[in-house]
Every structure is written in structure tokens, then in C-alpha cells.
């Protein structure tokens, strides 16, 4: 059953104070920083929403994201059933592909690996490591791959301790507008 916008915001209020793995920010702080960077980067409303929601799988997971864990929590796939029905693919696919974008960037950007935090390096290894040339080419032709790459870049920058961020509820109008577009689009298809 899809989560409503209210349920999503309540999830951030209930579980978002958890630390974001071994990073210096909380889950909510990371989500808000990422969404702010997307907005500052001129992203569409859908990509800003995806940036806010990209790690919500960590909030839904049984075990919180942690550097010492030796298992991938597949946080990029976990939220899709909870968000499908509320949001369109323009929101869902960058979320689903943001880990693949990290694997892609490790392949094509020689300095990317060094720019990753220790936690991101650790999770990358659990997620399969850098893509080979064929996998990188396959990734790049996927719909929403470029949005996922942009999201990934913001994700990597959204870990600054003490950065002033808005409240999750400040993104409520944006989330509702994107969710409404999904509902309106669905209604058009059924008539």
C-alpha cells in the first residue's frame, strides 16, 4: 500500500533523527540537504522530491544504515512499493538508480572514488563496486539515468554537519504537487 505524503513526513519525524550511518548528519538532515541542493541546482519538482526521498529506504529498513554492517540494505529498492501509486517514475526512477549512478561515476570519473566518504566507499563495495565498461554503458542509456547522476552528486554533498536546513514539512507543498500530478495523470488514463 502506498504511503501518503502525510505518512512520509511522519516517518521522517519519527525515525529521521537517526544518524545517517557514520556520517555527521541525521537521516532527515541528509534528505533535506540533498533536496536543497537539487532546488539550488534548478532541478524539476520531481527531481527535488526524489532527492528528498532517495534514502527513505533507510528509514523503512529493519536495521539502520551503519558502517559496521556487512550487508547491503538495498535501500534504493525498498521504498519503491511504498511510493509507487503516490509518485510517478520521474520521482521513483532516480531513487531506484542512485546507487547505480554511484557505481557508474566510479567507472567514468577518475576522482570520484576519492571524493566519497568512508561510509559511501564501504556501502559501494557492498553494492557491487564500480561498474565495468559494459555495465556503465547499459546504465547510461536507462531512462532517468542522468537525473540519477545529478541526484547522486547532490547526495554526496549533502553530509555537512551544522548546515541550516528547512523542516521536512517545508517540502510538503512540493511533495503534494508532485503526488497530485501522479493522481491527475492516472485519472486521465482511466477516462
Residue 139 · residue 18 · CB < 8 Å = no
Percent of the chain with pLDDT over 70: 86
Q: Which class is 5-190 in CATH?
A: mainly alpha
Which residue in 107, 92, 111, 91 sits closest to 140, CA to CA?
Answer: 107
Which residue in 154, 166, 167 sits closest to 105, CA to CA?
Answer: 154
pTM of the model: 0.87
Query: How confident is the model at residue 21, as a pLDDT?
Result: 72
> pLDDT tier at 189 (50, 70, 90 boundaries)?
very low
Query: How confident is the model at residue 42, as a pLDDT?
Result: 97
Which residue did the predictor score with more confidence, 144 or 180?
144
| Backbone torsions φ then ψ of 31, nearest 5 degrees | -60, -45
Tell whether the model's pLDDT for residue 182 goes beyond 60.
no
Domain boundaries, the chain: 5-190
| Backbone torsions φ then ψ of 26, nearest 5 degrees | -85, 170
Which residue in 19, 15, 17 sits closest to 60, CA to CA?
Answer: 15
pLDDT digits (tens, 9 = 90+) for 77-134: 688 999 999 999 999 999 999 999 999 999 999 899 899 888 788 778 888 888 999 9
Amino acid at each position: 500500500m502506498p504511503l501518503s505524503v502525510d505518512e512520509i513526513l511522519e516517518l521522517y519525524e519519527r525515525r529521521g533523527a537517526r544518524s545517517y550511518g557514520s556520517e555527521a548528519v541525521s537521516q532527515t538532515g541528509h534528505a533535506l540537504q540533498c533536496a536543497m541542493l537539487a532546488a539550488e541546482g534548478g532541478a524539476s519538482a520531481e527531481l527535488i522530491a526524489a532527492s528528498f526521498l532517495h534514502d527513505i529506504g533507510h528509514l523503512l529498513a529493519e536495521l539502520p544504515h551503519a558502517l559496521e554492517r556487512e550487508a547491503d540494505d538495498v535501500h534504493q529498492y525498498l521504498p519503491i512499493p511504498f511510493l509507487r501509486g503516490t509518485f510517478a517514475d520521474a520521482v521513483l526512477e532516480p531513487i531506484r538508480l542512485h546507487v547505480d549512478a554511484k557505481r557508474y561515476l566510479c567507472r567514468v570519473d577518475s576522482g570520484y572514488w576519492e571524493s566519497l566518504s568512508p561510509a559511501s566507499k564501504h556501502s559501494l563495495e557492498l553494492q557491487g563496486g564500480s561498474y565495468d565498461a559494459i555495465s556503465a554503458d547499459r546504465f547510461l542509456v536507462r531512462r532517468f539515468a542522468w537525473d540519477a547522476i545529478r541526484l547522486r552528486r547532490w547526495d554526496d554533498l549533502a553530509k555537512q554537519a551544522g548546515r541550516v536546513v528547512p523542516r521536512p514539512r517545508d517540502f510538503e507543498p512540493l511533495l503534494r504537487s508532485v503526488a497530485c500530478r501522479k493522481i491527475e495523470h492516472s485519472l486521465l488514463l482511466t477516462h
